[in-house]
A and B are shown apart, each in its own frame.
Chain A
Amino acid sequence: MSLDLTMPILVVDDYKTMVRIIRNLLKQLGFNDVDDAADGAEALQKMRGREYGLVISDWNMDPMTGYELLKEVRTDESLRSTPFIMITAESKTENVIAAKKAGVNNYIVKPFNAQTLKSKIDAVFGV
């Protein structure tokens, strides 16, 4: 199975530099259709207006965290099957367990490198 490099990806993070970093890393991997949102609420709005192939989200954001976004996505019939990767500085076991319970597909702790991002995306899509 190979990745669909044309799938639109939504990057959710309140730090513009992090959005820029992830966007550039994704570009290196061949993904050019990348949108972004500054928090969970904005992301949810965008997801209800467009179908994304993957959501990559931070955890700690205001007013809606990535954790809340994940739970909203998984309870929404139209969004629940969207692959979701958390990229966050939250590295306590309780965070990882909570995210897994809420239905996250994979979890990356910051700081991370391009290779880690690629391997987690590959793992989500069974590549």
Chain B
Amino acid sequence: MATAQEKAAAVAEGASSVDTMLDQLSEASGGDIAIIDLMSIADHLMGSLQSTFAALDSSILREFGAISRSINDVRREVASLQPHEQEDESIPVAGKELRAIVNSTEDATHSIMGAAENILSIEADTYESYREAVESEVMRIFESCSFQDITGQRVSRVVDALEDIDERVGRIAVAVGAATDSDEKATRREQRDSRKKALILNGPAKDGAGVGQDDIDAMFG
């Protein structure tokens, strides 16, 4: 004859719910369910629940672990964003370069218009003196047109600053799972920075920050 535990184990194995378990036990016991049988079922149920809780614990632990790692990744990326650097360097660089572009294009425009106005108002006694006056103003126009070269270099620096910001935001996006990882941009940027350093590519200096022609002439004696 089966023991209470054996009966309970058999019932629990086949039962899908506690009610079903009790019904089947009652049937097996002829309508009377002994307390000891109930205690055995409870004991068996506790055993199976414990393994369920243990599995749940591991699963929840794993999830919290993953969330914790994600938070650390985001924290690390935000720290590497170096908001003060962005605030103190990249963004101000872009702003200053754009202002310098506006100023230099304005200066060049005035210079060119001034030369054109002078040409229109030249009064000369001879053809030679007229030609000399015109050539002088034309040379001024040529010199003024050099703003395009310097402007182009300043625009490149603005683009670099924006690409720097774009890359850092991209890393944040990867950290929060909003984008897939791409080392390509970071590698390209590293290569570009490395080349700039090796070939001393500083670009046009901020107003007043570069060495003047007189100082350069002094270096060449």
Query: Residue A125 at the B interface, CB < 8 A?
Result: no
Q: Are A67 and B200 in contact (CB under 8 A)?
A: yes
Q: Are A25 and B142 in contact (CB under 8 A)?
A: yes
Query: Residue A65 at the B interface, CB < 8 A?
Result: yes
Q: Are B142 and A89 in contact (CB under 8 A)?
A: no
Q: Are B210 and A92 in contact (CB under 8 A)?
A: yes
Question: Given A60-B153, A112-B213, does the pair A90, B200 have CB atoms closer than 8 Å?
Answer: yes
Query: Residue B22 at the A interface, CB < 8 A?
Result: no
Chain A's interface size range is: 35 or more
Question: Given A96-B216, A96-B219, does the pair A90, B142 have CB atoms closer than 8 Å?
Answer: no
Q: Are A112 and B143 in contact (CB under 8 A)?
A: yes
Query: Residue B139 at the A interface, CB < 8 A?
Result: yes
Within 8 A of B (CB), among A1-47: 13, 15, 17-18, 20-21, 24-25, 28
Residues of B within 8 A of A90 (CB): 200-203
Residues of A within 8 A of B83 (CB): none
Question: Given A25-B139, A91-B211, A96-B211, does the pair A110, B149 have CB atoms closer than 8 Å?
Answer: yes
Q: How many A-B residue pairs have CB under 8 A?
A: 94
Q: Are B139 and A91 in contact (CB under 8 A)?
A: no
Q: Are B139 and A28 in contact (CB under 8 A)?
A: yes
- In the complex the two chains form, what is the Cα distance from A65 to B51 in whole Å? 70
Q: Are B216 and A109 in contact (CB under 8 A)?
A: yes
- In the complex the two chains form, what is the Cα distance from A89 to B200 in whole Å? 12
- In the complex the two chains form, what is the Cα distance from A100 to B220 in whole Å? 8
| Contact digits for B169-213, partner A, Cβ 8 Å, 1 yes 0 no | 000000000000000000000000000000111111100001111
| Contact digits for A87-110, partner B, Cβ 8 Å, 1 yes 0 no | 001111111111010000011111
Query: Residue B146 at the A interface, CB < 8 A?
Result: yes
Query: Residue A111 at the B interface, CB < 8 A?
Result: yes
Q: Are A18 and B139 in contact (CB under 8 A)?
A: no
Partner of A109, one of B139, B142, B211: B211
Residues of B within 8 A of A20 (CB): 145
Query: Residue A116 at the B interface, CB < 8 A?
Result: yes
Within 8 A of B (CB), among A22-80: 24-25, 28, 58-60, 65, 67-68
Q: Are B145 and A17 in contact (CB under 8 A)?
A: yes
Residues of B within 8 A of A65 (CB): 199, 201
Q: List 9 A-B contacts (CB under 8 A).
A: A25-B139, A25-B143, A60-B201, A65-B201, A91-B205, A95-B202, A96-B219, A108-B216, A111-B147
Instruction: Supply 16 further A-B pairs (C-beta < 8 A) apart from A25-B143, A60-B203, A96-B211.
Output: A13-B149, A17-B145, A25-B142, A60-B153, A60-B201, A89-B205, A90-B203, A91-B205, A92-B205, A93-B211, A94-B200, A106-B220, A110-B146, A111-B146, A112-B146, A114-B142
| 6 closest Cβ pairs, A-B complex | A91-B210, A89-B204, A15-B149, A18-B149, A111-B146, A17-B148
